[in-house]
Amino acid sequence: MTLTAATSANAQNTTETVVGVPGPEEDPFIWLEEARSEEALDWVRAENERTLAALENDPRFEELKAEALAIYDSEDRIPFATFRPDGLYNFWQDKQNPKGVLRRTTLESYRTDEPEWEVVLDIDALAAAEGKEWVYKGSTCLPPALNKCMIALSDGGEDATVMREFDTSTKSFVEDGFVIDEKSQGSVSWIDEDTLLVNRDFGEGTLTESEYPFTSRIWKRGTPLSEAEEIFRGEPTDVWAGASLLRDATGTIQARTAFRGISFHESLYYVWKDGEWLELDIPKMASPYGIVDGHLLFSTDVVWEADGQTFPADSLVAVDLEEWKADPNGAAKTLVWAPGERQTKRGGSITANALYVGLLDNVVGKVLEFNFVANENGGGQWLSREVALPDNATVGIAASSNETDQIMFTVTDFLNPTTLYYSDGSSDPEIIKTSPSYFDKAGMEVEQHEATSADGTKIPYFIVKPKGMAMDGSTATLLTGYGGFQIPRLPGYLGTTGKLWLERGGAYVLANLRGGGEFGPGWHQTAIRENKQRTWDDFIAVAEDLVERGFTSPEHLGIQGGSQGGLLVGTAFTQRPDLFGAAIVQIPLFDMLRYHLIGRGASWIGEYGDPRIPEQRAWIEGYSPYQMIAEDEDYPVPFLWASTADDRTHPAHARKGAAKLKAQGHDYYYFEDMTGGHSGGVDNEQRAKLQALQHVYLMQRLMDERDGG
């Protein structure tokens, strides 16, 4: 029997006036939205040929590609690993294994300079045997042993995957095991060795308008997936929905839960209680965080009023697990942590006995360890301590073990290679691996400045530049940012950028824009929907500040960004074409009046608004780069690139932008990676090629002398 979550009054409002969206009569390039039509692919091949002729024939191309490839294939880069009961697992790609191998080693061996690896699954061999362009997309394994896994494989790099049962003990796919051959978005969870909880595309009527699953089934071994029992169903208007399992650190299932994503940033949560789905009385921008020391933790992105208490946005809130299981909406709530000024949490991990939470404190990384300490009265308190890691760096949690207190951390900054720290929980972390230096940092320095945005808000940015460089505007400078979906952009070792750009005299700038997550939920929420222009204003303000200070000048200033960052760059060069000499528009959103109809764009209405609603269309129409392209403007010869296999940010956005630029007589470059997914490039060779193409373009536009400047 299907047990459906009750339709909620909080669901998306469907009574708004709806207007039409641009169709073929208004948009002559809609045909480019067919990702793999012969007409569209012929257009792509012609564009690629033109762009490659201009960039690959540059004498610097091969050198740049070789430098990038040497970094990607480096044998002494850190092999980041995850903890499992039978060892440390790592996925590795290099010249000999371009598609990669899943491999494992012991902790003792991992700590040496040359670990002895045992190959568990060879993706190159699998792809060759099956004649597929397999890309490994991870695995979901049954706790606590984690030896029975569902392996996700993508043909060509798209987000949609097939899944197959794999036994890491025998290093082979399970004969007559669980197999999902229909590629789809979605997920699986192990209930037990013979039962899966599956959130996938089950055919007609099981995908949302955003093309994500909204139904869940329990699949028993030996039965067809089509006959699996449906246990949860959201609504077609949800962004996504599905059931899940709430497990503690031992892998024991403590509750069966479900959610409905009613917008990209808002969800309704449910718990299976007394034979029905009970909706949790928590804010729509709060969610379960994990189980620690017998407590269930929640994270909230908004102020939460409960039990006469006020929990600040971005805080962690705990309930006693057994009390919550007995009365999910009545369990007493306790504050675990709340952010200070300009602080925000950044991911967390749970070991057998502790919670670790990454923290940004004015864009500087820290990690806090939390434990619940009981007292003799049956109560207790949450205690925290800062983990002993270097200051003034970007700090992250790399891996943790559920079975033990083992944990690893990364420490990095722009100029110093990433360092990996390890602790078994009994002492402070120690360095166990350091990434090699990929570029010569001598003579380079990092500064942090602030620009003033259009509404007076101070926007911080970092600049990496040659020491003592002339402040006459002559330095070729690359500015990047993101500013969306509460995702922070943080200092990290520049690697290929350092080698290909900084060593050749360029400067690099990272802007911390509103809409991102550098300063918590408020920093994000102040620049979404009707206020999204603030993100674009922030980026333009940083560019203006760079020019005003003399770091660079418009003819030497380039901008680069991907996905939401591609939209950022598109808005920047269409709103202020006079301010930039180059613009790399990677895998972008670009046609914002049709974005909800292209790929999985409908899932992002919570970030940008709905162009079918007149008031919201007005917000979007004012900045949508595709519509903003004008015949009489002088644009900085943009370089747009995308991926044919990208089923998240569809290549149609970049294609249509290039086609419109061409129709209006503007110069531009367009390249489409015909094998990679959303990140572009499925192996190191292709990734190196993409890096070389972009850096040749930047050098031609920003470093080379050109007629007319």
**How far is residue 638's CA from residue 631's CA, in Å, rounded to a whole number?**
15
5 neighbors 279 (Cβ within 8 angstroms): yes
Residue (of 392, 305, 358) closest to 520 by Cα position = 358
CA 572 to chain centre: 22
Residue (of 60, 185, 160, 156) closest to 680 by Cα position = 156
**How far is residue 461's CA from residue 362's CA, in Å, rounded to a whole number?**
12
566 neighbors 654 (Cβ within 8 angstroms): yes
Candidate list 524, 653, 666, 678, residue with the active-site label: 678
527 neighbors 520 (Cβ within 8 angstroms): no
In sequence order, what DSSP letters do the residues of 209-270 get, joined into one string? TTS-B-EEEEEETTS-GGGSEEEEE--TTSSEEEEEEEE-TT--EEEEEEEEESSSS-EEEE
Buried b (16+ CB within 10 A) or exposed e, 534-548: bbbbbbbbbbbbbbe
**How far is residue 577's CA from residue 636's CA, in Å, rounded to a whole number?**
6
E-only strand ranges, 93-175: 101-105, 118-122, 134-141, 148-155, 161-167, 172-173
Q: What Cα–Cα distance (Å) separates residue 413 from each residue in 356, 366, 518, 657, 670?
A: 21, 13, 15, 35, 32
Joined together, the tokens standing for residue 448 give: 């942090």
- The helix or strand, by DSSP H or E, that contains position 45, with its residue range, turns out to be helix 38-55
Candidate list 315, 401, 563, 643, residue with the active-site label: 563
**How far is residue 574's CA from residue 632's CA, in Å, rounded to a whole number?**
12
Instruction: Judge whether 426 counts as a catalytic residue.
Output: no
Instruction: Judge whether 596 counts as a catalytic residue.
Output: no
**How far is residue 296's CA from residue 332's CA, in Å, rounded to a whole number?**
11
Catalytic residues: 563, 678
